[in-house]
Copies of this chain bind each other. A is one copy, B any other.
Amino acid sequence: MNQFIQKYYDTSIPSLGSGGAVKVLSPATVANVVCGFDILGFALNEPNDEFTISLSDEKGVTIINDDAYDLPLDPEKNVSGAALLALLEETPDIKGFHFISKKKIKPGSGIGSSAASAAGAVVAANHLLNNRFTKEDLVRFAMFGEKVASGVKHADNIAPAIYGGVTLIRSIFPLDIVSIDAPELHVTVVHPQIEVRTSDARQILKQRVLLKDAIKQWGNIAGLVAGFIKHDYDLIGRSLEDVIIEPVRSILIPGFDDVKKKCKEAGALGGGISGSGPSIFMLSRNEVIARAVESVMKEVYENIGLAYHTHVTTINQQGVKLL
């Protein structure tokens, strides 16, 4: 059915009218940035999903998958669909959307695949509607997509996908998003091909933490934010320490300790689990170091004998891009 619809629409795309269609690139994102669990994320220049949206005379959202992931076509069960339905609730003048999804960010990789689907869909729709909504509105809509993906409305991938750069979610209810300036940073990501379910990664966390550890953590997040805004690489490096989440979650990721240790020896400022894993990210001052870090990551997973993908990229300052 999925295949059939996909083929059917592939040929019919031109009929949507190029004038009425909007195409966007929606970026991967890193959330839970080390000491910034649940509050800090940033967008990547690579990889990106590609989405095309146009107005439809049919009510609701018609989804066409133009990729290999066989994601649900029922908009209420589809991340992009749920986000678009939330947006449609506030656009009584619009009947519906045609939405073509060409995902390249593998679901479950830990680099914000679902956020890219949700954020990309609503930013594209907003372009189609002459940008009638604010970025904060779009985050609000996209969070309905995240709820479909993980059962929880969180914004630490969506906000950087929509705002670009490094974003702080100071508070989720009420939503308070703060853009954090940062110096040039190169990001290396390795995605070992294992599955870490977000729900498992959540369940493994302890509900209570030691106050002394929490104090260390908020010292580090304060240092990290100051380091970003002051463009102080050394302070960023010293602050990239997570004494609460990483010690618990990293056991789900084979090779984690080895990757982290060797990447820092190779010159990385630091890094950790991307989202809830299994991807691991490292920040570096320049591309030469970021490439050396990639070599180290490859070496570790070659030795373990685990398949992997890597990305060497930079921070995406713009968020979802109109094509």
B-side contacts of A276, CB under 8 Å: none
A223 touching B36, Cβ below 8 Å: no
The answer, yes or no, to whether A176 is at the interface (CB within 8 Å) is yes
Say how far A249's CB is from chain B's closest CB, in angstroms. 13
B211 touching A211, Cβ below 8 Å: no
Most buried by B among A209, A226, A230, A235: A226
B-side contacts of A238, CB under 8 Å: 170-171, 176
B-side contacts of A207, CB under 8 Å: 210-212
B-side contacts of A217, CB under 8 Å: 214, 218
Say how far A4's CB is from chain B's closest CB, in angstroms. 45
Closest to A180 in B: B226
A222 touching B176, Cβ below 8 Å: no
B-side contacts of A221, CB under 8 Å: 218, 221-222
A170 touching B209, Cβ below 8 Å: no
B171 touching A216, Cβ below 8 Å: yes
The answer, yes or no, to whether A162 is at the interface (CB within 8 Å) is no
The answer, yes or no, to whether A239 is at the interface (CB within 8 Å) is yes
B-side contacts of A210, CB under 8 Å: 207-209
The A237-252 residues at the B interface (CB cut-off 8 A) are 238-239, 244
The answer, yes or no, to whether A225 is at the interface (CB within 8 Å) is yes
B-side contacts of A214, CB under 8 Å: 209, 214, 217-218, 244
The A32-58 residues at the B interface (CB cut-off 8 A) are 35-40
Closest to A38 in B: B215
Q: How many copies does the complex hold?
A: 2
B222 touching A39, Cβ below 8 Å: yes
A170 touching B211, Cβ below 8 Å: no
**CA of A219 to CA of B217 in the docked complex: distance in angstroms?**
11
The answer, yes or no, to whether A129 is at the interface (CB within 8 Å) is no
B-side contacts of A88, CB under 8 Å: none
The answer, yes or no, to whether A5 is at the interface (CB within 8 Å) is no
A223 touching B178, Cβ below 8 Å: yes
A171 touching B38, Cβ below 8 Å: no
A222 touching B37, Cβ below 8 Å: no
**CA of A180 to CA of B36 in the docked complex: distance in angstroms?**
19
B211 touching A206, Cβ below 8 Å: yes
A222 touching B223, Cβ below 8 Å: no
B-side contacts of A216, CB under 8 Å: 171
Q: A39-B222, A218-B217, A220-B170 are in contact. Are A244 and B178 (CB under 8 A)?
A: no
The answer, yes or no, to whether A205 is at the interface (CB within 8 Å) is yes
B-side contacts of A208, CB under 8 Å: 208-211
B229 touching A226, Cβ below 8 Å: yes
Partner of A218, one of B176, B212, B218, B235: B218
Can you list 17 A-B contacts (CB < 8 A)? A36-B218, A36-B222, A39-B222, A168-B222, A169-B219, A170-B235, A171-B216, A171-B238, A176-B223, A180-B226, A205-B211, A207-B210, A208-B209, A209-B214, A218-B221, A221-B222, A222-B224
